[in-house]
Amino acid sequence: MADDEVATRAPESDAHESPTHAGSSDERRPAMSEHCTTDRPTPNGEVPQGEIRQLGGIDVYLTKPDTYPSNPSKLLLLLTGGTGLKSTNNQIQADKFASEGYVVVMPDLFDGDPAPNSAAVPESETLVTSFLETFKLKAAETAKSFLLDMWMARHTEEKVMPILEKVIHACEGEFADAVGNGGGIYAVGYCIGGRYVLLLAGERTINHTSWTGAQKQPDEEAGEGQGPTKKGPYIKAGALAHATLVSPEDFRGLKSPVSLVCVEHDPVFPDEVRIAGEDAMSKGNLEHEVQVYPGVPHGFAVVGDYDDTNIKEAQLTAYEQMLKWINEH
């Protein structure tokens, strides 16, 4: 099957994908959706308007309002799912926010290594008519699962957070006007990128040997201690859609207001995680909002074409929810 055939298939049926059953061998394995690794068809006539360049030594997609810098703008980080920096749909999503007055920086969170595409996996709707076809299907699913496991092991927060720190530091220098105009940096995130919005919105106690190991060691002459230090929050406000790989612990220590776009019965952002997150935010008196969208697949909020008009309308509503939140904060 060709790559473009996979990219254009309709995964709406994934909206009700069953979660891993308790007691199975995969019970504790982090889950990722097909939508985290495969783009929807790009809407007709839409093409990216920005450019790929380096910022702080990291590849980023940069897109700006037409009137910038003559008119004041704000700085927005857009954090993607596994399809990454070179996804046309992700770039167009960034352009949409740029058209609303934001200088948008979309960093390559995965250092040139986006998640394995689903091209090797046959259509889930394919009629299996023989034992051999069943065997091939299971083998392909196992191979893809293995590739995703290996990919996730390469892109942990210990690798991703230093990338974000470098980009944020560079933004504070090159786009100081936009950062100052907004009173800080804003962030939106989708799928995997959604989790990093939570991490950027929180205050964390970090050991110098953890994910900040890429930075310099403590400077005793400058009065820096050898023990843990507090870092963050890095952003003024954030919005995230159908986050992936989130645990209840990711909601602890949140300091910046956040808006969540959630999918009803999302197998990769289970209800129990969402409810635990809502409880933590409420107990912490954190300003937040949570909207649950029924009848849509994980990944629906990212730019991409759907045949189902309900999903199309929900996609627009989710974008408006996220835009309104960052505009108001």
Total of domains in the chain: 1
Q: What is the largest CA-CA distance in the chain?
A: 72
pLDDT of residue 227: 67
pLDDT of residue 149: 79
- Which contiguous run of DSSP H or E holds residue 286? none
27 occurs within a structural domain? no
Q: Under a CB-based contact definition with an 8 Å cutoff, are residues 240 and 259 in contact?
A: yes
Token pair listed for 308: 């189902």
Q: Let me know if residue 23 belongs to a domain.
A: no
Residue at 154 is within a domain: yes
Of the candidates 124, 218, 216, 219, the one whose C-alpha atom is nearest the C-alpha of residue 165 is 216
- The verdict on residue 25 lying in a domain is no
Give the residue numbers spanning the domain of 249.
3-18+32-328
Say what the pLDDT of residue 222 is: 41
Tokens of 208: 């110098």
CB 304 within 8 A of CB 41: yes
CA 215 to chain centroid: 24
Tell me if 194 is assigned to some domain.
yes
Cβ-proximal residues to 168 (8 Å cutoff; 6+ apart), any chain: 77, 185, 234
> Does some domain include residue 239?
yes
Q: What is the pLDDT of residues 231-260, one digit of tens each?
A: 999 999 999 999 999 999 999 999 999 999
Q: Is residue 274 part of a domain?
A: yes
pLDDT at 317: 98
Q: Using CA atoms, how far apart are residues 76 and 188, in angstroms rounded to an integer?
A: 7
Pairing of strands 58-63, 102-107: antiparallel
| Res 153: pLDDT | 82
Pairing assessment for the beta strands 229-231 and 288-293 based on DSSP bridges = unpaired
Phi-psi region of 88 (alpha: psi -120 to 50; beta: other; left: phi over 0): alpha
Is 206 inside any structural domain? yes
Give the CATH number of the domain where residue 252 resides.
3.40.50.1820
Residues of the chain short of pLDDT 70, as ranges, are 1-33, 35, 118-144, 146, 208-227
Q: What are phi and psi of 78, to 5 degrees?
A: -115, 120
Rounded CA separation 85/39 (Å) = 12
pLDDT, tens only, 172-214: 999 999 999 999 999 999 999 999 999 999 998 877 544 444 4
